[in-house]
């Protein structure tokens, strides 16, 4: 099977995507696959490279806009090329934090309430004051914690909002929930071992904690049965409601024994430091086995979606 590992892209998460792609390439079973690395530098590269390579399936290592937001998935569907992970709708929904959070709230899933501003014209520090400091400021469609800041007071608010607005048309401002940061990796509708994250360097799981060696302590965590059930139900409800397929990662914060869903990642990182492979390893699944499963399950999913089953 000829596998095109599509990585790079044009988003702020390009470097993480390149790391994800390289890690995938390192672990793909060469006895089963012919591996074709495909680095995207600009939008036009995707169609040209895919048509030229003649691949059987696209293994998506992209993150962020034009990769995780449904646009690449739609382009590949137009070309008739199967791809890994969720489809167009789920990718688009999960990329838009405000929209996905609205749907989750309607379904009874707990998620931090906050503000959504459409650029600097909406800037109003008094509204944030009423929300209560500290707050988290983040781009609506970003990932990898890029552009996210913990803001303690009004003095810190303006530069944080300006940075987030430079990365996205819409931004979110949410109350900071102090609790245990956890992540639930889901593969084919099954929740893998839950991982807790703590960072000695910062108060939350920021970019440095995610990607620098020793930036954070990540470990499999076991909760009392009642809390464990709440966490798993919140993760699976989010996964199903947003129509995720094959695999995803649901990030939460556990505050006063209640899980609050922060976001759902349809193409979670697969670098050496990433959480999904660590969760899979805790379940006895090697990186190579995980990739085998993602490829096989994605092919099955696309055939069903395209009426080829």
Q: What digits encode the pLDDT tens for the residues 78-129?
A: 999 999 999 999 999 999 999 999 999 999 999 998 999 999 999 999 999 9
User: Is residue 208 scored above 70 in pLDDT?
Assistant: no
Place of tokens 């996210």: 148
Give yes or no for a contact between 141 and 97, defined as CB atoms under 8 angstroms apart.
yes
The pLDDT tens digits of the residues spanning 135-188 come to 999 999 866 567 789 999 999 999 999 999 988 889 999 999 999 999 999 999
- What positions carry a catalytic annotation? 13, 144, 211, 249, 251, 263, 265, 269
Residue 143: the pLDDT is 60
* CA 238 – CA 248 distance, rounded (Å): 10
Residue-level pLDDT at 200: 59
pLDDT single digits (tens) 250-292 = 999 999 999 999 999 999 999 988 999 999 999 999 999 999 9
Strands 180-187, 190-191: pairing kind: antiparallel
Name the residue with higher pLDDT: 164 or 201. 164
Residues in Cβ contact with 89 at an 8 Å cutoff, skipping those fewer than 6 apart? 70, 243
How confident is the model over 13-53, as pLDDT tens digits? 899 999 999 999 999 999 999 999 999 999 889 999 999 99
- Which two tokens mark 103? 């749907």
At 202 the pLDDT is: 56
């Amino acid at each position: 099977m000829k596998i095109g590992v599509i990585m790079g892209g044009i988003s702020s998460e390009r470097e993480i995507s390149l790391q994800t792609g390289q890690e995938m390439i390192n672990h793909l079973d060469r006895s089963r696959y012919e591996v074709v690395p495909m680095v995207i530098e600009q939008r036009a590269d995707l169609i040209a490279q895919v048509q030229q390579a003649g691949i059987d399936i696209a293994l998506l290592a992209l993150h962020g806009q034009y990769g995780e937001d449904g646009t690449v998935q739609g382009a590949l569907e137009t070309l008739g090329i199967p791809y890994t992970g969720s489809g167009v709708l789920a990718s688009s929904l999960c990329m838009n934090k405000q929209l996905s959070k609205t749907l989750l709230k309607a379904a009874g899933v707990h998620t931090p309430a906050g503000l959504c501003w459409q650029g600097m014209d909406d800037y109003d520090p008094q509204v944030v004051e009423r929300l209560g400091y500290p707050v988290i400021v983040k781009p609506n469609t970003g990932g990898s914690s890029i552009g996210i800041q913990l803001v303690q007071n009004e003095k810190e608010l303006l530069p944080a909002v300006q940075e987030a607005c430079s990365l996205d048309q819409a931004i979110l401002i949410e109350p900071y929930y102090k609790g245990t940061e956890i992540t639930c990796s889901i593969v084919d509708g099954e929740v893998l071992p839950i991982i807790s994250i703590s960072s000695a360097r910062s108060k939350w799981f920021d970019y440095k904690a995610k990607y620098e060696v020793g930036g954070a302590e990540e470990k499999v965590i076991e909760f009392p049965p009642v809390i464990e059930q709440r966490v798993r139900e919140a993760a699976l409800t989010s996964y199903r409601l947003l129509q995720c397929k094959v695999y995803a990662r649901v990030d939460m914060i556990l505050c006063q024994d209640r899980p609050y869903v922060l976001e759902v990642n349809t193409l979670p990182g697969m670098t050496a430091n990433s959480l999904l492979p660590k969760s899979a390893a805790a379940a006895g699944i090697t990186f190579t086995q995980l990739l085998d499963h993602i490829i096989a399950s994605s092919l099955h999913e696309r055939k069903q979606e395209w009426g080829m089953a």
